[in-house]
Amino acid sequence: MTRAVCPGSFDPPTLGHLDIFARASAMFDEVTVAVLVNPGKNGLFSIPDRLELLRAVTSPWPNIRIDSFSGLLVEYCAAGGITTIVKGLRGVSDFDYEIQMAQMNRSLTGVDTLFLPTAPQHAFVSSSLVKQVASYGGDVSAFLPPVVLAAVQATVAPRDR
């Protein structure tokens, strides 16, 4: 049984994330999408809300499960028999940071990281930019699955839209 994890904040999950989940799901027997619980950081969405959104958007893939974790990712992987971390790479600015984390994680426990190039149409999409655009009333419908779009729009007060 091959197991991989797609870790992240997913605040909120975007179509770019979903593309990576779908591609990972075709490569591994089981893929866990794991949301980092970071007590020092308040997100737009609570962890339970993010988990619910992730469950909704990944429901077409039976081998994707949704979970949350705190602490070191490599320890979460070891506890769950996960041998590979899957990350999307949008470009060189992602690479600088991601290669460091991949090398650190591999040196800690031997867990490897598989980088998937983001689909070009999602290369500029990030959760933080989507939140910023939405907060000013911009149209983010091209970047989010419909259920996530509805949740984001519900967080923006009508007077702000």
User: 104 to 143, contacts with ligand PNS by CB under 6 A?
Assistant: 104-105
Q: Which of 56, 64, 66 is nearest to 35 (CA)?
A: 66
- Tell me how far, at minimum, the Cβ of 154 lies from ligand PNS, in Å: 22
- CA distances from residue 1 to 28, 110, 117, 151 in whole angstroms, order as listed: 8, 18, 25, 35
- Tell me how far, at minimum, the Cβ of 59 lies from ligand PNS, in Å: 21
Asked if residue 36 binds ligand PNS (CB under 6 A), the reply is yes
Residue indicated by tokens 């962890």: 47
Q: Which of 30, 48, 37 is nearest to 7 (CA)?
A: 37
Question: What one-character DSSP code corresponds to residue 98?
Answer: H
Ranked by CB distance to ligand PNS, the top (closest) residue is: 8
Asked if residue 37 binds ligand PNS (CB under 6 A), the reply is no
- Tell me how far, at minimum, the Cβ of 160 lies from ligand PNS, in Å: 25
Q: Which residues bind ligand PNS (CB under 6 A)?
A: 7-9, 36, 72-73, 101, 104-105
